[in-house]
A and B are shown apart, each in its own frame.
Chain A
Amino acid sequence: MMKKLLSATKWLPKIPTGPNSRRALVLLAITVILVIPLIEFQQRAYWVRVIGYTGLYIILGLGLNVVVGLAGLLNLGYVAFYAIGAYTYALLASGHFDIHVSFWLVLPLAALLAGVAGILLGIPVLRMRGDYLAIVTLGFGEIIRILVTNLTDLTNGSQGLIGIDSPFLLGLELKTSTHFYYMILIFVIIAVFITYRLDHSRIGRGWIALREDEDVAQMAGINTTRYKLLAFAVGAIIGGLGGAIFAAWQGSIFPDNFNLMVSINVICLIIIGGVGSIPGVIIGSFALIALPDILREFSDYRLLLFGLLLVVMMIARPEGFIPSRRWQLELRTEEYAHVAPTGTAEKSEGS
Chain B
Amino acid sequence: MILSSRDVTKRFGGLVAVNNLDLEIQEHVIHSIIGPNGAGKTTFFNCVTGFYSPDEGDIQFNNKPIAGLSPDRITHLGISRTYQNIRLFSNMTAIENVLVGQHPRLKTSVIDAILHTPRYHKEEGEALEEANRLIRFVGLIGLGDQLARNLPYGAQRRLEIARALASGPKLMLLDEPTAGMNPHETAEMMLFIQNLRDEVGITILLIEHDMRVVMGISERITVLDYGEKIAEGPPNEIQRDPRVIEAYLGRGAASGLGRISATAID
Chain A interfacial positions (CB closer than 8 Å to B): 193-194, 197-198, 201-206, 208-209, 212-213, 215-224, 230, 234, 326-331, 333, 335-345, 347-348, 351
Contact = CB atoms under 8 A, between A and B. Distances in A.
B246 interface: no
Interface of B is mostly: helix
A136 B83 CA distance: 32
B128 interface: yes
A205 B99 contact: yes
B136 A338 contact: yes
B137 interface: yes
B72 A326 contact: no
Nearest to B123: A202
Interface stretch (B89-97, B178-186, B249-257): B89-97
A220 B136 contact: no
Interface in B93-134: 93-96, 99-101, 103-106, 108, 110, 112-114, 116, 120, 123-124, 127-134
Nearest to B132: A331
Contact of B51 (A194, A215, A339, A343): A215
B28 to A, nearest CB: 8
Nearest to A330: B144
A265 to B, nearest CB: 25
Contact of A344 (B114, B136, B141, B200): B200
Contacts of A218: 70-72
Interface string B129-167: 111111111010110110100000000000000010111
Contacts of A340: 137, 199-200
Contact of B201 (A219, A333, A351): A351
A206 B100 contact: yes
Contacts of B108: 201-203
A348 B201 contact: yes
B227 interface: no
B41 interface: no
A216 B130 contact: no
A340 B162 CA distance: 11
A113 B92 CA distance: 34
Interface stretch (B3-11, B53-61, B74-82, B208-216): B74-82
A339 B135 CA distance: 10
A330 B135 contact: yes
Contact of A330 (B95, B139, B163): B95
B76 A205 contact: no
Contact of A347 (B51, B88, B200): B200
A209 B102 CA distance: 12
* Top 3 A-B residue pairs of the complex, sorted by shortest distance between their CB atoms: A330-B144, A221-B104, A201-B113
B200 A198 contact: no
B47 to A, nearest CB: 13
A341 B165 contact: yes
B64 interface: no
B259 interface: no
Contacts of B100: 205-206, 209, 217, 220, 222
B124 A219 contact: no
Nearest to B192: A338
Contacts of A206: 100, 103
Contacts of B145: 326, 328-330
B49 interface: yes
A213 B100 CA distance: 12
Contacts of B134: 341
Contacts of A208: 89, 91-92, 96
Contact of B80 (A204, A219, A222, A230): A219
24 contacts: A198-B113, A201-B113, A202-B99, A205-B103, A216-B83, A216-B88, A218-B71, A219-B51, A219-B72, A221-B103, A222-B103, A329-B99, A329-B131, A331-B129, A336-B136, A337-B136, A338-B137, A341-B134, A342-B130, A342-B133, A343-B168, A344-B168, A348-B199, A348-B201
Given A201-B108, A217-B100, A342-B130, A209 B89 contact: yes
Contacts of B101: 220-221
A197 B144 CA distance: 22
Contacts of B123: 202
A327 B108 CA distance: 19
A326 B110 contact: no
A329 B144 contact: yes
Contacts of A335: 136
Contact of B96 (A194, A203, A221, A329): A329
